[in-house]
Amino acid sequence: MSDKTNIILDGKKIQAQSGETILDVARRNDIEIPTLCHDPRLKPFTSCYVCVVEVQGMRGLQPSCSTKITEGMKVTTNNSKVRKGRKTALDLMLSNHYADCAAPCKQTCPAGVDVQGYISHIDKGQYHEAVALIKDTNPLPAICGRICVRPCEVACRRNLLDEGAPVGIDYMKRFASDFDLESKDKWVPDLEKSTGKKVAIIGAGPGGLSAAFYLQKLGHQADIFESAPAAGGWLRYGIPEYRLPNDILQKEVDNITELGVNIFYNKKFGDNLSYADIKKDYDASILTIGSQKGTLIGCEGDDAENVFSGIDFLKEMEESGKPYDFTGKRVAVVGGGNTAMDCCRTSIRCGSTEVYVIYRRTEKEMPANPIEIHESKIEGVNYKLLTNPVRVNKDEEGKVKSVTCLKMELGEPDASGRRRPVPVDGSEFDLEVDYILAAIGQKTQVEFLDNINKITDEGELKLNRWGDIEADPETLQTGISSVFAAGDGVTGPSTVIAAIAQAKTAALSCNQYLNGAEITPPKKEFLSKKDNFKVQVSSEYEGCFPTQLREEMPVLDADNRVNFEEVELGYASEEVAKHEAQRCLECGCVKYFNCDLKDYATEYEVDQNKFAGDYNEYKVDFRHPFIEIDNNKCILCSRCIRICKEVVGADALGLVNRGFHTFVAPSMADRLQDSTCESCGLCISTCPTGAITENVIFKPGPIKTDKVKTICNYCSVGCEIILDHKSNFVMKVSGSEGKINPDGNLCRYPKFGFNYLNDHARITKPLLKEKGKFKEISFNKAYDIIIDKINQVNPDENAFFAGARLSNEEMYLIQKMARAGVKTNNITSLHYLNRGDGYTFNSRNNVPFDQIKGASKIYLLGSEINEDNAVVGFMINNAQHENNVPVELITTHEDSSMVRKVDNVMKITSYYHFIKAVNYYLVSNNFHNAMYISDNCDGYEEYKEELLKENFDELVRLSGVPFMDTVVEFAKSFNNEMNAIIVFSEKEISGNASYELFNLSMLTGKLGKTSNGLVSLKEKNNSQGLFDMGICPKLGVGTQPIDDPDLVKLMKKKWKVDELPTVINESQFEHLEEGDIKNLFFFGEDPLGTAKKAVRVAGWISVADFVVVQDAFMTKTASKADLILPSSFPTESGGSFTNSQKVYQEFEPVFVSEVDRLSHEQIADLMKKLGVKQKTNLDDIRVESMSLLSTVKENRLKFVYTHNDNYHRVFNNGCDSITKYFEDAFEKAFED
């Protein structure tokens, strides 16, 4: 049978591998087929039916994810039937998707400002980032932060929880933008390359300024023509200064002109600026002319003196720079909008003590912001509600004397939905006033119309039936193709934010025009909305979120408001803003930017209401400390369930119920943490929607993040990871398709153990202890103190300790400093302290991880692999699940968590004696593989001689096996197994037991064969690097004996030193115990914090004269040090780690360091002071360390006989404070 199959895919002949699915083949051939339930890590499942295709000769549509290709198959992946099938599947799914893609605040905002996103930035103190995000859609945040009408806050769901007190969305916006405006490094957008195109913008109001901002950003030259002598339009000439100070306005205008936008003042379009000039000089234009002309009351007598339109009143004052004098005068303001509020509150400031607002409906119907009404009342404004002026009465001079009003009552709702006011018969009354300000609307002034239409030959600029400019509602292109319009001039009087929104639309359309592209509105994004299902009610939120009082805006004392000083004072501090940010309920989905379901719904133009009907509603489950389950968003693809079973083997999730009411739930438990969940987060990694996400301690946004790759620095497996961050704040970690983890699988350590990267408690400067307290000192001072201390003692009175989490480059320099600079071989790692040398070679000839699946049987020897090295655990589980490979656990644990995941468990009491007994049996019965041994190994005869001196029965007894036969059976079956792999962990297996395991693998001839032999697992990300880099008194780089004459010669040459230490004190442990060490240097280790016996370590430290610690945090050890050097993170320094299989992986620096000198640079600095020159470029360090390997001699495998077990662990957590930090936090998180 041929292993190739020919198919016709979308009319193209394609040869593919037999056994592949249609989806596999299509993807490889770059044919996009959507799918939600498929994950290449898992077996095909087929539930979503989004991946359907048509196959000639087969009934219905075929799910491509599970349909295997057959010879001659003709497949169509994209025709109307297929698209319709996919669309209906999505329509149906989303008809039962009670969830919001975007928060109501964002959806309600005319400009679509990403409120939840900027609140997330504020939560992290990222104010510039917040401003940058706001300016994506609104370039005037400091202005809007003061005067916006805030539909977002009306829509805010906080209202439902803390009645009537929405999140302070606008106040926070103001806080962030004021912070940015006042800072030295305010945010400035990147401008695209200049296009050479020019756009004329008529009017420097909010619309004009915004359009200019976006056009300039896109690389066009935006020039604004403004009729007034200053910019801002209504912002300046309408809104009074007590609400919007001119200096704030000017700063935001300046921000825009600083991008290169020109504003030409006193240029009135149609007057001293002709369309002919514009047409000549510009490629396009945007009319943002506003709605300028005020309307009067429209009743008898409104021509009386002292009757003005409110806007003229406000404008006149700004132009003249002088307030009216209303002292002792009575003022009536007609209208209920924000202009009315500006008028009445301004009148008070002009000295009037009797100001009336006349409005024909009730306060509830008033369009003005509630806060404005509230403030006006505080300031003493009187309200005449349900009142309508019908006549202005003049005195003999033609001045206003009084206004005759009618009382009104509310009738049936009108077209706007508001109840129509109806006059009450015989309710007429007179109100005596001196001034009447009519704030009831404006008209657009279009005197330039003829001027344009006369000159243009590309169409006609028309007005609509309200007298405003007619423009395409979606693109805002007018009847003249090069002319666009936006703002009040198009819509009639509206809000600032609406004008800004339109301006962006017009600018984008104009950009399309300038680029010669078709002018189309952006594709409508699909948004699932809870409101499509039901009106939101308080009970849904009460009890789910804590109540929290709104941070109120500090304001000027009401008695103090006789001037035009800004009334609202802004939040007092960052803390206030951050505290208010906590009130955000995060209504929008955290998967907004990367939800497959949403993307497909947009692509297939899904209508959520098409199949509206019954829907399921679930409470979001936040109870697991790291994993959040929102069943409302679940589409039942079961990927979470399957990955938990097929890859993790935890089987912690399952389906409950049948049919429409099916849902995902923890298996046999109410809470996920009470199930068999291992908290690896692979469920999150596979969820195609936002149903399973990270439960984080910060506001996750969603915000768009940057992604960087690095290598995990927890265990020795060496997974590649992706950090999702914004400005160095890591939001999320996911698996990369790395060398070790090609499937992108990760365990809980990198997935949830990243908070240390965001920790503000980090040490960033050298600290010297004086009188028991640390104080910051310069690096140079720190170096001098250290050198001085080194010089005061004999070289071997110094001891250097390098941690297993450090990079190879750091390790190399530390040992070089000790040897070449300080002239001592007292260099080791506490991680391996006093644990013998059995670990030195145990990564040799290991089975590569990717051969695990080829095993015929896997033995787990003392490895709680699902906790300590889970990604290898996944590989084993997958082999077990996919290929039915039996897994046997041999453990000394009474309650190993692996028991339920394996096929067989053998409980013993000593790994060392068990393996030794097995070896004894094999050797004594001559079951050894003589040919393999003679070809590859030395020392068999000696080993045999020594071993057979021991007593087999005694070994068996000490091993603690349940039956004598157990050892024999194991020995036989292991020996006979075709592909047997023993996976063991240094955490449990002693150095000498490791030697015996190697002896076993050699005896059976398995070491180094495909899918056969040993997998040793070290504890830390760079445990292996310690040996490779010579962090050992007797070993140099490449685990060469440090006294090897060839190596010594080479080191002297490469290191340019005449002398190297010759004394080798093998046991640093004894040194420490005996108190021989005067100066202790700890690099990246926290012995005090992680010691099994802290008293012992405290003794070493107290005996020493001088203790230096290099670390990122104030660890227990650091707090006892005399001097602390701040260490950089691997993400800042870059470097390389060598994993437990000797796979060497380099990683780049991805974040700007918070420490001025990187860790390895500090060591190089010290070396220089010790007279050893050192390059600090990572590549140079690598080349240098590699050059020392040229003397490595070929090594045959060697049997090593060991006398005793030597399980002497001195430290937990790999002696690493960061590991300890996470392991402690992890444990604590699950305490009830």
Q: Which residues bind another protein (CB under 8 A)?
A: 44-50, 52, 59-61, 63, 66-68, 84-85, 88-89, 92-93, 95-96, 611, 613-614, 635-636, 638, 654-655, 657-662
Cβ 44 to another protein shortest distance, Å: 7
875, 901 contact by CB (below 8 A): no
Q: Between 48 and 499, whose beta carbon lies closer to another protein?
A: 48
- C-alpha dihedral over 89, 90, 96, 101, to 10 degrees? 170
Q: Between 28 and 610, whose beta carbon lies closer to another protein?
A: 610
| Residue bearing tokens 């028309």 | 462
Per DSSP, 161 falls in state H
Q: Between 45 and 927, whose beta carbon lies closer to another protein?
A: 45
Residue 499 identity (one-letter amino acid): A
Q: Between 229 and 613, whose beta carbon lies closer to another protein?
A: 613
Instruction: Report residue 666: phi and psi, to 5°.
Output: -60, 145
Return the bridge partners of 443, or none: 293
Kindly report the number of other CB atoms within 10 A of residue 1054's CB atom: 16
Cβ 65 to another protein shortest distance, Å: 9
The strand ranges marked E within 1068-1180 are: 1079-1083, 1106-1111, 1123-1126, 1135-1138, 1144-1147
Cβ 56 to another protein shortest distance, Å: 15
Q: Between 367 and 654, whose beta carbon lies closer to another protein?
A: 654
Handedness of CA 413, 419, 425, 431 (dihedral sign): negative
Cβ 245 to another protein shortest distance, Å: 56
Cβ 540 to another protein shortest distance, Å: 23
Report the distance separating Cα 724 and Cα 990, nearest Å. 38
Per DSSP, 568 falls in state B
Q: Between 66 and 536, whose beta carbon lies closer to another protein?
A: 66
User: What are the angstrom distances between the C-alpha of 511 and each of 48, 208, 283?
Assistant: 40, 15, 11
Report the distance separating Cα 1171 and Cα 481, nearest Å. 74
Per DSSP, 189 falls in state P
β-strand pairing of 767-770 with 773-776: antiparallel
Q: Between 96 and 482, whose beta carbon lies closer to another protein?
A: 96
DSSP three-state, residue 722: strand
Report the distance separating Cα 873 and Cα 745, nearest Å. 11
CA-angle at 1130, arms to 1129 and 1131, nearest 5°: 85
Cβ 687 to another protein shortest distance, Å: 16
Report the distance separating Cα 1069 and Cα 826, nearest Å. 11
Cβ 485 to another protein shortest distance, Å: 41
Per DSSP, 1225 falls in state H
849, 821 contact by CB (below 8 A): no
User: What are the angstrom distances between the C-alpha of 41 and each of 23, 26, 375, 686?
Assistant: 14, 17, 61, 9
Report the distance separating Cα 594 and Cα 1138, nearest Å. 33
712, 719 contact by CB (below 8 A): yes
Cβ 82 to another protein shortest distance, Å: 10
H/E stretch holding 581: helix 574-581
Cβ 597 to another protein shortest distance, Å: 11
Q: Between 84 and 781, whose beta carbon lies closer to another protein?
A: 84
Cβ 639 to another protein shortest distance, Å: 13
Cβ 40 to another protein shortest distance, Å: 16
Cβ 55 to another protein shortest distance, Å: 12
Q: Between 655 and 948, whose beta carbon lies closer to another protein?
A: 655
Structure tokens at 154: 């009306």
Alpha helices, H only, 206-245:
206-217, 234-237
β-strand pairing of 284-287 with 483-485: parallel
Q: Between 52 and 261, whose beta carbon lies closer to another protein?
A: 52
Report the distance separating Cα 37 and Cα 14, nearest Å. 25
897, 652 contact by CB (below 8 A): no
Q: Between 124 and 901, whose beta carbon lies closer to another protein?
A: 901
Report the distance separating Cα 65 and Cα 435, nearest Å. 77
Structure tokens at 807: 């990079």
Instruction: Report residue 734: phi and psi, to 5°.
Output: -135, 170
Q: Between 265 and 611, whose beta carbon lies closer to another protein?
A: 611
Q: Between 426 and 659, whose beta carbon lies closer to another protein?
A: 659
Cβ 635 to another protein shortest distance, Å: 7
423, 406 contact by CB (below 8 A): yes
Report the distance separating Cα 1125 and Cα 1091, nearest Å. 21
Q: Between 85 and 649, whose beta carbon lies closer to another protein?
A: 85
Cβ 68 to another protein shortest distance, Å: 7
Cβ 638 to another protein shortest distance, Å: 8
Q: Smallest Cα–Cα separation from 1071: which of 848, 833, 904?
A: 833
Q: Between 53 and 483, whose beta carbon lies closer to another protein?
A: 53
Cβ 93 to another protein shortest distance, Å: 6
Cβ 613 to another protein shortest distance, Å: 4
Cβ 59 to another protein shortest distance, Å: 8
Q: Between 21 and 1206, whose beta carbon lies closer to another protein?
A: 21
Alpha helices, H only, 284-362:
310-320, 338-349
Kindly report the number of other CB atoms within 10 A of residue 973's CB atom: 13
Q: Between 59 and 1203, whose beta carbon lies closer to another protein?
A: 59
H/E stretch holding 248: helix 246-257
Structure tokens at 817: 């400093």
Buried b (16+ CB within 10 A) or exposed e, 3-31: eebebebeeeebebeeeebbbbbbbeeeb
Per DSSP, 977 falls in state -
